[in-house]
Structure 1
Amino acid sequence: MKFAVLVFPGSNCDIDCYKAVEQTIGQEVDYVWHTATDLSAYDCILVPGGFSYGDYLRCGAIARFANVMNEVKKAADAGKYILGICNGFQILTEANLLPGALIRNNGLKFRCHQSPLEVVNNQNPFTRDYEQGEVISIPIAHGEGNYFCDEATLAELQANNQIIFRYAGDSNPNGSVDNIAGISNKVGNVVGMMPHPERAVSEILGSADGKRMFTSILNAWREQHGTAING
């Protein structure tokens, strides 16, 4: 399986994503600059966190016009796997690859700490190695992670099982509607989340709960391609 980690001016979690793939599941991975015009060689595209283009205008509002985003849309339409983390989630909503928007945290403060997440949908390619309803610990680091959508969109997300993660219990750190921490598109191959699984792939980092997102997608790809699953 081959991974692409997109790099925009201001990305700062690209190395974390690269290392998570390389060291956690041992798959081929490349950094891909925002000017790229061909992603056909890749099976999974990671849109990392950071402050793309300095977060001017709105988070992700400029990055969504980068050349590479046209290729991300093509990849999504082709059924390839896309994961947007933090600023990557913001970029995917700005590019209309996911519904809704990320706005300022309700406390207007940057939040950076471990956060308990409930696995709401473990039937997604990125979550198949988790238990339904399992509570995991994944760090957050954002100032604009407050997921917002209108009532009609929320009802659609709920009806289609597109809510992938919720902040568990009363731990909502940003005011997100319905405690949403991560969602998918209707097909399920595009996922966006504010917490950082790439920063939770080893106990030395405080949690290894993010590791299973990477093993999940590898196993999903192997199953799709009829390759033996080694775990």
Structure 2
Amino acid sequence: MAFRAAVITFPGSNCDRDMAVAIERVSGTAPIRVWHGDAHLPEDLDFIALPGGFSYGDYLRSGAMAANSPIMQSVKRRAERGVPVLGVCNGFQVLTEAGLLPGALMRNASQNFICRTVALKVENDRSLFTSGYAAGQTIDIPVAHHDGNYFADDETLDMLEGEGRVAFRYVENCNGSQRDIAGVLNAEGNVLGMMPHPERAVEQAHGGTDGLALFENAIKTLVSA
């Protein structure tokens, strides 16, 4: 059976094509493009991606309006059934606002938009998304955000640490995120939210391929399951 992925597009998404290209590059199959106003996702999906951008112009809070889009109820149901969901940048913000991941993404500590390649330390190498890396490995992934400062209360942070749900940390904290957190997993390990853009690091011509292993491992694992 062919690999079936979906990329959700909200008004203001601007990385949906990048995400679709990365998925197709690894899987050989173009993902289904789903509009935020659709009420239902296609059946038999293997993978769902929420891309970066500025959904609804980042009004209210980044990701807050997108989290209440009709399609997100379907995304939540699929995630609860174990379908892998990847949220990058604005997608990470949407996942926190929708309650699929804990915490919140606030304005960068510098109050400036940050757009550059940063070094990440791989903290968890046991998830579907991260097992293509080694724990402690440093990878270079681009960031591009104004609201990437990860915040959660101490109890939540301790829980994430204790359960091994911190996926990536910034080697040098670029936005003020608590405990240098750049990406987190849900308790079941099938939902990952991260601010850096792995889909922008799958072509050497774009500056590096350190994001490729995330897609390769997830997709190959799902295809062989």
TM-score (norm 1): 0.94
Greater displacement, 38-47 / 184-193: 38-47
Q: What secondary structure is seen at the aligned counterpart in 2 of 1:93? A: helix
Report the Cα distance in structure 1 between the residues aligned to 2:211 and 2:26, rounded to whole angstroms: 10
Deviations 1:190-226 (A, max 9, x none): 0000000000001111110001111011122134x2x
Matched, 1:105 2:98: no
CA distance in 1, matches of 2:221, 2:127: 9
SS at structure 1 position matched to 2:31: strand
Q: Deviations over 1:34-70 (max 9, x none)?
A: 0122223311100000000000011001001100000
Deviates more, 1:19-28 or 1:192-201: 19-28
Equivalent position of 2:216 in the other structure: 215
Match among 6, 14, 17 for residue 15 of structure 1: 17
Root-mean-square deviation (Å): 0.9
The Cα shift of 1:93 comes to 0.2
Rounded Cα–Cα distance in structure 2 between residues aligned with 1:167 and 1:74: 31
Q: Summarize deviations over 1:166-206 as a string: whole Å, max 9, x none.
A: 001xx110000000000000000000000000000011111
Residue aligned with 1:96, SS: coil
Q: CA deviation at 1:12?
A: 0.2
Cα contact 2:5–2:32 (8 A) shared by 1: yes
Asked if 1 retains the 8 angstrom alpha-carbon contact of 2:21 and 2:30, the reply is: no
Deviation at 1:24, TM superposition (A): 3.0
Amino acid in structure 2 at the alignment position of 1:156 = M
What's the CA shift for 1:113?
0.2
Deviations 1:141-179 (A, max 9, x none): 0000000000000000001100000001xx110000000
Amino acid in structure 2 at the alignment position of 1:25: S
Residue 24 of structure 1 contacts residue 201 of structure 1 at CA under 8 Å; is this kept in 2?
A: no
Unaligned runs of 5+ in 1: 226-231
User: Paired residue for 1:51?
Assistant: 54
CA distance, structure 1, for counterparts of residue 25 and residue 80 of structure 2: 29
- 1:166 touches 1:180 (CA, 8 Å); kept in 2? yes
Shift of 1:26: 1.4
- How far, CA to CA, are the matches of 2:211 and 2:166 in structure 1? 17
The runs of 4+ residues in structure 1 deviating greater than 6 Å are none
Structure 2 residue identity aligned to 1:184: L
TM-score (norm 2): 0.97
Equivalent residue number for residue 229 of structure 1: none
Rounded to whole Å, the distance in 1 between the matches of 2:159 and 2:173 is 21
Q: How does 1:72-221 map to 2 (within 5 A)?
A: 72-168=75-171, 171-221=172-222
Structure 1 residue 14: Cα displacement: 0.2
- Whether contact under 8 Å (2:37, 2:69) holds in the other structure is yes
Contact residue 104 and residue 150 of structure 2 kept, 8 A: yes
SS in 1 for 2:5: strand
Shift of 1:90: 0.2
> How many pairs were matched up?
222
Partners of 1:7 and 1:93 in 2: how far apart?
A: 17
Identity, in percent, stands at: 48
Structure 2 unaligned blocks of 5 or more: none
Please list, as runs of the form range in 1=range in 2, the aligned pairs for 1:219-230 lying within 5 A after superposition.
Answer: 219-223=220-224, 225=225
> What is the rounded CA distance, in whole Å, between the counterparts of 2:103 and 2:135 in structure 1?
24
**Secondary structure of the structure 1 residue equivalent to 2:78:** helix
CA distance in 2, matches of 1:37, 1:9: 15
